[in-house]
Amino acid sequence: MYFVISFGVLLAFVLVIFTAIKWWNMELVGKDPVPLLVFCAILFTSGLDVGLIMFPLAFDFPLYADIDTTPAYAFTNPLAIEFGYWGFLIWAFYFLTGFYFCVIEPRVKFFEIPWVKIVNNIVIIATCAFTGSLFLIYLPYYIPGIGDGETVVPAFYALTFLVILAAAYSSTDIKFVKRLSVASTVLFFGLIILAWTMAGMGLGDFGNSVANLQGYFRNLHRFVLPMSDYHQFFLFWWFAWSIMIGQFTSRFVGGLKTWQFLAALLVIPSIPLALWFGVLYHYYTAGISTTGLMNWAMVVVGVIFVVNSFDSLIRLYTDNLGMTTEKLGKGRYLALNVILLSILTLLFESQWLQIEWIGTVVIALYVFCLSLIVSRHRKEVMGIRTMPEGQSL
């Protein structure tokens, strides 16, 4: 699997560099353009999930600090590694797929090929269910007041079911998706302020904490290829999300130049990530507990992030497959999506399905798409100078 993900990452970054240079100053406009900050809110909340809220303190910082067990992390500090797994460079995947669906797919129509369409939507549905399974598996750690703190109990299955139901309902109207994305982003910044306040942090404390991010930028090259099995898992996870997030969010791009689009994706989502991880790292190094209000606030925001991730993906695959509320009716639409995702979530929870398999399929789609372009559409694609007709401001 190391070879597969290494090949996929290197291919993606080569294509990112080529795309940015080739179409540096082209204006990008989606089918439903929104202001930049709204676009970034949709991207941020659709492209991330509850792991962003809960993983750092509970699992990641202790793991990265234990260099005796995993010496691969010895080159820098835990905050730099956490940021590298979630921020900056990795968002270039979404730039590549977002650009593709804005500019190239309308001409090439690779994702309209019947077998590709089926495979792509299986990937979307499976990845959506994987997100649900992570939420279910780690709920005992998020809400230790229920159960023994280690076992998934019936209440957690019920909560996961309600999250899927809420997401399916939100997906029935694109305006719900937009509004929830903006609201989630605002709540996330509110969570950062709450965490800062409850920790009693001063500006000096925060400055000392985020200064550790230098360890990421000084070692940027180390984050390209997997440095550990856990990093490999994250990279497969990002690949699994890359096509569907690019496909969904490309519709909202509102007139950015290609270079602006790349800069926006690398920088804007990384700012709240740096703030959040910087505050949490102070909790970790100072040994501050999150029990009580802080823990419940993290749970609430984490749940909303899961709903936000789900609703955008449900909206995407139902549109792709023609399973709309207009065609099915709201009742049948909700029942079909809730039953499907609940069953698949349980399959992932039992580890019958693996995210590495999904990421491998996505890398294969990259290769097939590139092969089609080179063999049949090379002159047309290389000759692109503007957005497709009828899709510009």
CATH code for the domain defined by 31-382? 1.20.1740
| Per-residue pLDDT, 391 | 55
Strand partners, 257: 27
Report CA Rg, the chain.
21
How far apart are the C-alpha atoms of 107 and 128, rounded to whole Å?
Answer: 28
Quote the pLDDT of residue 215: 95
Of 254, 20, 50, 238, nearest to 135 (Cα)?
50
pTM equals 0.88
Give the residue from 213, 176, 204 showing the smallest Cα distance to 77.
213
Q: Return d(Cα 24, Cα 12) in angstroms, integer.
A: 17
pLDDT value of position 393 = 42
d(CA 302, CA 142): 9
CB 100 within 8 A of CB 23: no
Euclidean distance between CA atoms 44 and 151, whole angstroms: 31
Whether the Cβ atoms of residue 309 and residue 46 lie closer than 8 Å to each other:
yes
pLDDT of 352 reads: 65
pLDDT score recorded for residue 147: 67
Q: How many CB atoms sit inside 10 A of residue 189's CB?
A: 12
pLDDT of residue 389: 59
Long-range contacts of 112-115 (CB under 8 A, 24+ apart): none
Which pLDDT does position 148 carry in this prediction? 63
Angstrom distances, CA of residue 330 to CA of 221, 315, 333: 48, 13, 5
Query: Which residue type sits at 213?
Result: L
Backbone dihedral angles phi then psi of residue 29, each to the nearest 5 degrees: -135, 125
Residue 392 has what pLDDT? 46
CB atoms within 10 A of CB 310: 27
Domain residue spans of the chain:
31-382
Q: Point out which residues pair with 256 in neighbouring strands.
A: 28
Mean pLDDT by 10 residues, the chain (393 residues): 93 96 92 85 75 84 92 95 94 94 93 93 85 81 71 84 88 78 87 93 92 95 93 92 88 90 92 94 92 87 83 84 84 89 80 81 96 93 77 48
How is 228-281 classified by DSSP, letter by letter?
A: SHHHHHHHHHHHHHHHHHHHHHGGG-EEEEHHHHHHHHHHTTHHHHHHHHHHHH
By DSSP bridging, strand 27-29 and strand 254-257 are antiparallel
Contact assessment for residue 248 and residue 46, using Cβ atoms and an 8 Å cutoff:
yes
